[in-house]
């Protein structure tokens, strides 16, 4: 096991490329010139014959709309993984970036990414394992590793406004929906109102139902009880019964 750096970088990687020379990397790009044990990290180097062709991995953490969320190494004859983009040409000379193996990266909008690649390291031997890193395969007898971390999201002004309203004191939120003549006073976690301590009882006149409705005269109209109506307008139908018999 080997530990490169236990501290995560401040910003995630936003782009990955390959250059032909250590001195030809674009501005804001970092070149992985050496392996973790100090060996040359040339991705093209031929073990049998010396070659003037060199390839070095480079990346940038320059803030932009996108971030690198995943990386893969595949054979050049394999199908391209879904959602991945191949690094086919060098950034400085537009030549073939790698041989036999193909480096592919997956890009995502920063706002939609929960995690992203924060660092890339190359090891001289695959038996070395880097703490907190993931190996995606070997290229030119070297192991390629990357480290994943969470992407910090910036809240929009609209979200901050909603959060601010949500975090407002309870008594303030209640005032906006209450009657204006009520005053609230917050005591601890309980909110008192102007109606607190006011006894609510049923009027004594509603305790017993009146046995007989009282006559009420409204504009000359007399309201009678049911008994009075039956007594005044009672009809026994005696005449009709005598004729029928």
Q: Which domains does the chain have, with CATH numbers?
A: 15-150 (2.100.10.50), 157-232 (no CATH)
What does each C-alpha distance from 43 to 47, 60, 85, 141 come to in angstroms?
11, 18, 19, 9
Which of 170, 176, 177, 167 has its CA nearest to residue 192? 170
Mean pLDDT across the chain: 79
Radius of gyration from C-alpha coordinates of the chain: 43
Higher pLDDT, 212 or 36: 36
**Extended beta strands in 50-153, E state:** 56-60, 66-75, 85-86, 101-109, 115-123, 134-139, 142-150
Taking 80 as the threshold, does the pLDDT of residue 19 lie above it? yes
Instruction: Yes or no: say if 108 and 67 are a contact pair by the CB < 8 Å rule.
Output: yes
Taking 90 as the threshold, does the pLDDT of residue 159 lie above it? no
Output phi, psi for 123, to 5 deg.
-110, 150
- Best-predicted range by mean pLDDT among 78-82, 151-155, 177-181, 223-227? 78-82
Q: Name the band, by pLDDT with cuts 50, 70 and 90, for residue 178.
A: very low
Higher pLDDT, 185 or 110: 110
List the Cα angle 228/233/236 in 5-degree steps: 120
Q: Look at strands 15-19 and 115-123 and give their pairing.
A: unpaired
Task: Say what the pLDDT of residue 194 is.
Answer: 64
Taking 80 as the threshold, does the pLDDT of residue 121 lie above it? yes
d(Cα 87, Cα 58) in Å, to the nearest integer?
A: 11
Range with lowest mean pLDDT among 60-69, 154-163, 233-242: 154-163
For 197, what's the count of Cα atoms within 13 Å in the CB-facing half-sphere? Answer: 4
Which of 94, 29, 99 has its CA nearest to residue 57? 29
pTM of full prediction above 0.85:
no
Q: What is the pLDDT of residues 81-118, one digit of tens each?
A: 999 999 999 999 999 999 889 999 999 999 999 999 99
d(Cα 125, Cα 137) in Å, to the nearest integer?
A: 11
Higher pLDDT, 24 or 206: 24
């Amino acid at each position: 096991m080997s530990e490169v750096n236990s501290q995560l970088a401040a910003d995630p990687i936003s782009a990955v490329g390959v250059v032909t020379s250590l001195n030809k990397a674009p501005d804001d790009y970092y070149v992985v010139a050496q392996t973790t044990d100090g060996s040359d990290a040339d991705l093209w180097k031929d073990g049998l014959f010396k070659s003037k062709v060199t390839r070095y991995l480079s990346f940038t953490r320059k803030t932009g709309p996108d971030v690198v969320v995943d990386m893969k190494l595949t054979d050049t004859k394999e199908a391209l993984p879904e959602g991945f983009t191949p690094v086919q040409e060098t950034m400085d000379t537009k030549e073939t970036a790698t041989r036999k193996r193909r480096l592919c990266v997956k890009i995502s909008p920063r706002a939609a990414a929960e995690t992203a690649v924060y660092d890339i390291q190359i090891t001289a031997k695959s038996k070395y394992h880097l703490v907190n890193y993931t190996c995606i395969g070997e290229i030119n007898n070297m192991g390629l590793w990357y480290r994943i971390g969470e992407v910090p999201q910036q809240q929009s002004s609209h979200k901050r406004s909603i959060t601010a309203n949500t975090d407002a004191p309870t008594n303030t939120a209640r005032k906006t929906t209450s009657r204006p003549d009520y005053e609230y006073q917050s005591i601890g976690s309980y909110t008192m109102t102007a109606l607190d301590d006011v006894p609510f009882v049923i009027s004594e006149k509603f305790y017993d139902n009146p046995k007989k409705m009282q006559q009420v005269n409204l504009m000359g109209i007399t309201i009678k009880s049911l008994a009075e109506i039956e007594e005044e307008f009672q009809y026994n139908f005696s005449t009709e019964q005598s004729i029928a018999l």
